[in-house]
Structure 1
Amino acid sequence: MIEADISYADVACQISARSFLNSLMREWTGWSLVPSTGPEGEPAPPVLRIPLPSRDSSVAVAVVHLSGVGQHVFRLPFREHRAGAAPRIMAFAEFAAAIACEPAIVGPAAGSQAMAAATFLRRVFQSAAAVEDVLARAPARSIALHRDPGFLEAEQALRFGHSVHPTPRSRDEFTLEDARAFAPEYGRGFPLRWWSAAPEAVAQGSSRAETAAALSADLAAEDPAFDRRILAASAGRVLLPMHPWQAARLALDPAIDALFRSEALTDHGPAGTPWYATTSLRSLYAPQARFMLKHSLNLRLTNSLRLIKAVECARGLVVDAVLAGPVGAEIAARWPRFHVLGEPAYLALRGPDGRVLPQTIVALRENPFRGPGQRPAAVLAALCEIYPDGRGSALADTILRVAEGGGTPEAAALLWFERFLDVAVGPLLEIQCEFGLLFGAHQQNLVIGLEDGWPAEAFFRDCQGTGYVREFLPALREAAPGLDLEAGHLFGSAEAARIMAYYLVVNSIFAVIGAIAIAGLASEAALTRALRRFVEALAEKDLRDRTCLRLLLDAPTLGSKGNFMICFRNINENTDVTDPLAGYVPMPNPLVSDPLAAFAEARP
């Protein structure tokens, strides 16, 4: 797929073009597929054709894997065709610029549109440069070829970002030096920077018996490398574990400077055992710590500025409390291999006016992957990420390894997929159908516990985004009296079904199907049939609300987040979006009909 001797820049363009094109094809319908033949008339991959009316031309690129779940693979170069002229090769940067300036794709070329195009292209090029730097400085590790990976090595194995996004590795405000120091794919740890604050300058919340301040102090006290002089110097104050990148920027914040000047805030400097970024960048992990840490960062990653809101912290506490009661007990009893990582506490500074400063928020998240002998586990996004060769993946390596125990790779792939559905997908769907809890289980929020390569457990993280199905509120209030369920996202069952269909099915399950099919281990058709059988079996159960299941089985299209236009329009999902469904675009539902049937004429 990719020649062994081409440059890192060329490989980065191959990888970046795949995510760019997959996102474009989801949202814009003006493309077409045309048959292709080789120089001797032999069959060749079909060609994706993208018309550019403003240039009086079209651009073509070979499609080496055509996917009904939207996980296509392409082979560069791009070639621009114009009547009366020989085709000319276009670099990825030129192609991206042509798309961003094409009114037929992005809209009229008005002044604001030109500014949007400039910002968009800056992020596209920054993302490609970040991928190139990772290829050059962080060589790939085969995390699953010979054994099951540990939690941290899998978090650090996600190198290229979102597979359906035009700027999968864009990180506004981050320099390449920042990325090399703090991004997970470079594999470097760093100590936290510790501040202490007067209690009146701190906002905190906890759903546990211990206060957030006590839990934070325990993180420091339980770290054998932590400087005990800091513990003594901070007596009577609240210790705040700060991300060092964020702490450096907060020092320039007038509200923070005022706290320092009044001595309500003290900087004790870096201390303790190294912490490591996970795939979300702002969530940090230390192997010995009871909790992971999720920090606000003044940083835009892909579509969002990564500042935590106080209401998100409240959601985390409520979900933790709900799961500590009878609802959680029933979930644990029915699905003992499925776990929700609670977010039971948060800390933040208050400004001189007493208001919470969201840029200082840090939330605590349960860490089941600690200590010696920790269980193997891998975030789903790292398992599914396609290698630079355009074919392999850690998931493919895992399936080939388990196939060595007997049977064909195809049989192993189908069995692995079925076990994944049992362990991870079934609980998430049934919990929504039976209890009205909506977990946003996209690829980076699902961690799969592995046992000799097979899915054995599933862990969901990021409770701050949890929603509730409105029709279940009376039952939830009865089971969890006194909790502010309205602090969470509230959706009607039809809305919740569409959201679950995107996060769990389009984003997560389709990535698994894509990775298996791209590697040639099983066909997408066989995998989607297995998925349909699984959902049909769930729909036959006595569940309170089958809306989501019926959507998956009956709807001709499913909603997919419109990452291309969200990114192009410079929408900050964290602040500019009140209706998450507003940015969804339809894609054919492969559980209902074969999307590739419409492409049949493109096959030579």
Structure 2
Amino acid sequence: MGWLVDRPVAATDPEAGTGARRLRIPLPSRGSVVEIAVEHLSSVGLHVFRLPFREHRADAPARVLAFAEFAAAVAHEPDIVGPAAAGAAPAFLSRVLQSLAAIEDALTRAPTPSLCLHADPSFLEAERALRYGHAVHPTPRSRDAFTPEDARAFAPEYGAGFPLRWWSAAPGAVLQGASRAETAAELSAGLAAEDPALDRQILAAAEGRVLLPMHPWQAARLGLDPAIGALFRSGQLIDHGPGGGPWFATTSLRSLYAPHARLMLKHSLSLRLTNSLRLIKEIECARGLAVDTLLQGPIGAAIAARWPHFHILGEPGYLALRGLDGAALPQTIVALRDNPFRGSSPRPAAVLAALCEIYPDGRGSALADTILRLGGRENGARGVQGTEAVALRWFARFLDVAVGPLLEMQCAFGLLFGAHQQNLVIGLDEGWPAEAYFRDCQGTGFVRECLPTLAEAAPGLDLGSGHVFAAAEAARIMTYYLVVNSVFAVIGAIAIAGLAPEAVLTRRMRRFVEALAGTDLRDKTCLRVLLDAPTLGSKGNFMICFRNINENTDVTDPLSHYVDLPNPLAAGGAEVRP
């Protein structure tokens, strides 16, 4: 139901005599109103609802609606989705129901682990733990072209490991780029050579060629691609089959992790997830290299010195096949990413989305379990720490470790990182936030007013591959990704569990931003938006999805699809009305 937050709906007054809040969704084309009980009304947009849906018509008793019927009613309501409802509804509803079926299958076949109840999780345990995907999206688990069997084999929530499929290509058939001393081909060969489970015959057979670590699902898909078939027939491409130790999908599905490997892999996958067809573009790879190069210089040194516990996972190389005409084939691109979670006992760390995901009971979460575990330990040791105090301390450390560095990097250097929940990983030390990791530099942007300084720090670097935004535009984007998507998820998870009131948490956040605004930073536009703007922008995922928009190719201005939400950090706070 969170996906209706960006639609124009309103809540009723509490029902007389019951005290139960209800969300009312008018459906004029049906001559009815649908209501659902609101368990938790949130100033940060993380509402909790309680089934069932009840449809009310004049002079008729209320009728319970199943979820599928409710979704269909919304998808055909012009007042909600516009006049193109009839044409767009079938594809939209297919994805909604596919997503629901995928979630139900995962909950049945791969029961949710107790991620943080007794101890801090490993990186891989947390990547497997995300069950529902994007919290404010109508189709978080729809995967066009994936069968249920594909999902069970390759989706992170099932926890299955699988070997890569190794191809090798003639050097002239490969497009590659790198930002460090080793070429991408050398990095890939190193991945193969360092895998003790990989058959050495593959290495021998690929001598003098470029090894390509292929996602097995994509490799099978590409077997039907005429351009790939031509490369095989010409002898420029050889399939060596599956080999090596297991790799595991992370929450993004197309990014793979192996505990033994020094790099992670991000593959093009020929399927649509949430809002995008997941084919990597050359310019995205160039952007990743540009950011990695920038971080190897004085700006990277300044970041490391100022925030030693904040880490940006570099993307030092990429590989792609060229067709017989020499053009790059985006469906074959694989990007290489640093892996700081290597070894048999990597440090505990959890992707923020897995920490904040609300359990089926509508109250608990891995974050809540962490805080309760900390509270129990400290209460037992000292007898004075209340759970709310522990929750506020956890939140304060999270702000210091993860949020402050990202805000300051934009204000000081003009670096705009898309730090939504699946791109932020929190390193944990006995439950407390101790480090933070940002991943996916391919989406990085730059603030236009800071380009001269960035260019001076990295002479000759082409920053044109990055998204370049004016300070006001960058501020709106940053406040969505980092604050609305990530920080508000933390606030919501803590408040929904009853560990601390939202109002207290949003006031803490405001004081934190005020303190940053009081320092000597070059561009405080983002901070002023957070403190002063009556509304904050949020990506309108419902309508993007309903209109079947591919964000990778159909969206040139990301702000054109934002909607306004009341800003709970603004002076006085946003009023939450029942």
TM-score class, shorter-chain normalisation, is: over 0.9
TM-score, normalised to structure 1's length? 0.94
Instruction: Flag the 1:564–1:594 CA change in 2: closer, same or farther, 3 A.
Output: farther
- Corresponding letter in the other structure for 1:171: R
Question: Which residue of the partner structure matches residue 177 of structure 1?
Answer: 149
Contact 2:222 2:228 in 1 (8 A): yes
Deviations 1:256-305 (A, max 9, x none): 00000001000000000000000000000000100000000001001000
Query: Do structure 1's residue 32 and structure 2's residue 44 form an aligned pair?
Result: no
| 1:107 to partner: Cα distance | 1.0
Contact 2:567 2:574 in 1 (8 A): no
| 1:22 to partner: Cα distance | 1.8
- Corresponding letter in the other structure for 1:84: D
| 1:593 to partner: Cα distance | 5.4
Q: Distance in 1 between matches of 2:575 and 2:462?
A: 48
Question: Which residue of the partner structure matches residue 382 of structure 2?
Answer: none
Alignment partner of 2:2 out of 6, 22, 26 = 22
Mapping of residues 288-367 of structure 1, within 5 Å:
288-367=260-339
Contact 2:349 2:425 in 1 (8 A): yes
- Corresponding letter in the other structure for 2:335: A
Q: Distance in 2 between matches of 1:598 and 1:260?
A: 61
Alignment partner of 2:126 out of 138, 148, 154 = 154
Q: Distance in 2 between matches of 1:421 and 1:350?
A: 45
- Corresponding letter in the other structure for 2:435: E
Alignment partner of 2:32 out of 36, 57, 67 = 57
Deviations 1:22-76 (A, max 9, x none): 2212x22243333125xxx4x4320111111111110000000100100000000
Q: Distance in 2 between matches of 1:177 and 1:116?
A: 28
| 1:514 to partner: Cα distance | 0.4
Shifted more, 405-414 versus 74-83: the winner is 405-414
Alignment gaps of 5+ in structure 1: 1-20
Contact 1:34 1:48 in 2 (8 A): no
Contact 1:552 1:591 in 2 (8 A): yes
Instruction: Flag the 1:595–1:57 CA change in 2: closer, same or farther, 3 A.
Output: farther
Q: Distance in 1 between matches of 2:172 and 2:243?
A: 24
Contact 1:196 1:234 in 2 (8 A): yes
Contact 1:201 1:354 in 2 (8 A): yes
Deviations 1:464-507 (A, max 9, x none): 00000011111111100011001111001110000000000000
Q: Distance in 2 between matches of 1:138 and 1:36?
A: 39
Contact 1:68 1:594 in 2 (8 A): no
Contact 2:566 2:574 in 1 (8 A): no
Query: Do structure 1's residue 256 and structure 2's residue 228 form an aligned pair?
Result: yes
Mapping of residues 136-285 of structure 1, within 5 Å:
136-285=108-257
Q: Distance in 2 between matches of 1:217 and 1:330?
A: 32
Alignment partner of 1:99 out of 74, 77, 80 = 74
Contact 1:34 1:49 in 2 (8 A): no
Question: Which residue of the partner structure matches residue 495 of structure 2?
Answer: 517
Q: Distance in 2 between matches of 1:584 and 1:595?
A: 21
Output the aligned Cα RMSD. Answer: 0.9
- Percent of pairs identical after alignment? 75
Deviations 1:193-214 (A, max 9, x none): 0000000000000001011001
- Corresponding letter in the other structure for 1:328: G
Alignment partner of 1:122 out of 94, 97, 100 = 94
Match of 2:129, SS? Answer: coil
Instruction: Flag the 1:464–1:356 CA change in 2: closer, same or farther, 3 A.
Output: same
Mapping of residues 67-86 of structure 1, within 5 Å:
67-86=42-61
TM-score, normalised to structure 2's length? 0.98
Contact 2:532 2:571 in 1 (8 A): no
- Corresponding letter in the other structure for 1:493: A
Deviations 1:441-485 (A, max 9, x none): 000000000000000000000000000001111111110001100
Q: Distance in 2 between matches of 1:33 and 1:411?
A: 34
| 1:598 to partner: Cα distance | 4.8
Contact 1:558 1:589 in 2 (8 A): yes
Question: Which residue of the partner structure matches residue 412 of structure 1?
Answer: 390
Deviations 1:132-167 (A, max 9, x none): 101110111001001100000000000111110111
| 1:373 to partner: Cα distance | 2.9
| 1:571 to partner: Cα distance | 0.2
Contact 2:196 2:244 in 1 (8 A): yes
Question: Which residue of the partner structure matches residue 435 of structure 2?
Answer: 457
Match of 2:536, SS? Answer: strand
Contact 1:67 1:596 in 2 (8 A): no
Q: Distance in 2 between matches of 1:28 and 1:257?
A: 46
Match of 2:238, SS? Answer: strand
Instruction: Flag the 1:594–1:274 CA change in 2: closer, same or farther, 3 A.
Output: farther
Contact 2:115 2:126 in 1 (8 A): yes
Deviations 1:359-393 (A, max 9, x none): 00000000000013311000000000000111100
Contact 1:318 1:485 in 2 (8 A): yes
Q: Distance in 1 between matches of 2:571 and 2:133?
A: 29
Q: Distance in 1 between matches of 2:40 and 2:121?
A: 28
Question: Which residue of the partner structure matches residue 399 of structure 2?
Answer: 421
- Give the length in aligned residue pairs: 572
Query: Do structure 1's residue 45 and structure 2's residue 25 form an aligned pair?
Result: no
Deviations 1:387-431 (A, max 9, x none): 011110000000011112131111110010000000000000000
Contact 1:184 1:277 in 2 (8 A): yes
| 1:114 to partner: Cα distance | 1.8
- Corresponding letter in the other structure for 2:326: G
Contact 2:287 2:466 in 1 (8 A): yes
Q: Distance in 2 between matches of 1:158 and 1:587?
A: 26
